Amino acid sequence: MAKVVPFKAVKPTRAIVGLVAARPYDSYTIDERESRMDYNPYSFLHIVNPGYKYDKIITGDLRYKLVRNRYMEFKEDGVFKQETEPSFYVYKIVNRHGQVFSGIIAATSAEDYEKDVIKKHEDTIAKREEIFKSYLQTVGFNAEPVLLTYPDNDIIADIIKETQKGYAEFEFTMTYRDTHYLWKIDSANTITTIQREFEKMSTLYIADGHHRSASSYLLYKDEKAKNPNHSGKESYNYFMSYLIPESDLVIHEFSRLVKDLNGLTKEEFLIQLDAMYRIENRGIMPYHPSKQHHFSMYLDGEYYSLYLRKARYKFNTALDHLDAQLLYKTILAPILGIKDLRNDNRIEYVNGRHEIVTIKTSVDSGDFEVGFGMIPATVNQMKHIADEGLKMPPKSTYILPKLRSGITIYEF
């Protein structure tokens, strides 16, 4: 039974929301960040990068305190205003490729996270969890929702559809040509209906935001332990999420680029591959696989197709069927010697939307020796892996929609 509650969002005013909204901080290059802050005093980047004001890099607890100061200044200056009543928010994104994502921004339960009602499919790094937990405790807000997905539900879909017939509180287009819309749901009856529909669901799945949700859970545990009068209704019991139906979720793959052949010659490498794969040289014509357990490879100016010899590989769990795991177990680790996918600097990842061009360019330039492509994982694969309590390798999925910071803010 999933618990989803309305909350009093802090939001920019309609006139400047498009100036406030920002991509995640790390998705910008240094030049991009500085350019946006130079010319846009309302950008949320000013809050998360408070050192810009002093032309200085500031880290740790001091940065967190200054982030809190910048946030309070935005509120004092009227850039942000808080709702007077708890609400749900229907949020729609139409990206430049014409893909449409519609869902509900709400507060979701840290206890559900603890009890595995909210399921995970990716490993998190404990150090990053602790760092972000400390950040949340100091700044007192969360400005980017966790992306959750739920089974398609006709009643919720009808509510979203009817809500979108009304006047949008926000409608703005970003420089990436994605258009964003937001409507508020404050009707008590509609809120109750939405909550009851989610209560019927045994499971929600994290699509994107595993570290944010894990850190919010750690915050909940800390604050609960410190509070002798804990009631379960405090704001720290929840974290902000964007819930979209499974049919709206779009999953792209991440391709792999490897800097060397682990001391092997090209011929030695191909011979070792032959033990697990049927190999076909496709020449100079770009090639991308169309089936599960098939891979593309770009090596020495030529494309290859790799077809798994299934008799040589055992499928015991849902994770074994995932192509990113299969590539790791059959090529990256045993042949190329890449055991730590998170920290080995010999490997890099390219999201599948740019795969063919980026892999060819990166290998032809000499920066990398070989590149591998695959088809995307499916929503059902992601769910089955989570249901079995297993975790995907890092960079197994590139999931859309990608959310913006600063449109709705949840205060603890």
pLDDT one-digit tens code per residue, 165-200: 999 999 999 888 899 999 999 999 999 999 999 999
CA distance to 134, 214, 263, per residue, from 137 (Å) = 5, 14, 48
**Ordered DSSP codes for 69-116:** HHHHHHHHTTSEEE-SS-BEEEEEEE-TTS-EEEEEEEEEEHHHHHTT
Q: Which amino acid is it at 310?
A: K
Judged by DSSP in three states, 392 sits in strand
**pLDDT of 352 over the 80 cut:** no
Tokens of 322: 């995932």
Mean pLDDT, to the nearest integer, of 44-70?
Answer: 94
Beta carbons of 71 and 12 less than 8 angstroms apart: no
Q: How many CB atoms lie within 10 A of CB 346?
A: 16
Beta carbons of 372 and 295 less than 8 angstroms apart: yes
**pLDDT of 81 over the 80 cut:** yes
**pLDDT of 356 over the 80 cut:** no
Higher pLDDT, 27 or 222: 222
Residue 44: predicted pLDDT: 97
Sort 320 into a burial class: Cβ within 10 Å, 0-12 / 13-18 / 19+: middle
Residue 80: predicted pLDDT: 98
Higher pLDDT, 402 or 240: 240
**pLDDT of 354 over the 90 cut:** no
**pLDDT of 235 over the 80 cut:** yes
For the chain, the distance separating the N- and C-terminal CA atoms, rounded to the nearest angstrom, is 24
pLDDT grade, residue 107 (50/70/90)?
very high
Q: To the nearest whole percent, how much of the chain has pLDDT over 70?
A: 99
Mean pLDDT, to the nearest integer, of 27-33?
Answer: 89
pLDDT grade, residue 346 (50/70/90)?
very high
Mean pLDDT, to the nearest integer, of 138-167?
Answer: 97
d(CA 303, CA 281): 6
Mean pLDDT, to the nearest integer, of 344-355?
Answer: 85
**pLDDT of 267 over the 80 cut:** yes
Q: To the nearest whole percent, how much of the chain has pLDDT over 90?
A: 89
Residue 209: predicted pLDDT: 94
Count of residues making up the chain: 412
For residue 347, which of 328, 334, 329 has the smallest C-alpha distance?
Answer: 328
Q: Which residues are 9's β-sheet partners?
A: none
Q: Which residues are 101's β-sheet partners?
A: 93
pLDDT grade, residue 26 (50/70/90)?
confident
Domains and CATH numbers, the chain: 4-251+400-411 (no CATH), 254-396 (3.30.1760)
b (16+ CB within 10 A) / e for 386-404: beeebbbbbbbbbbbbbbb
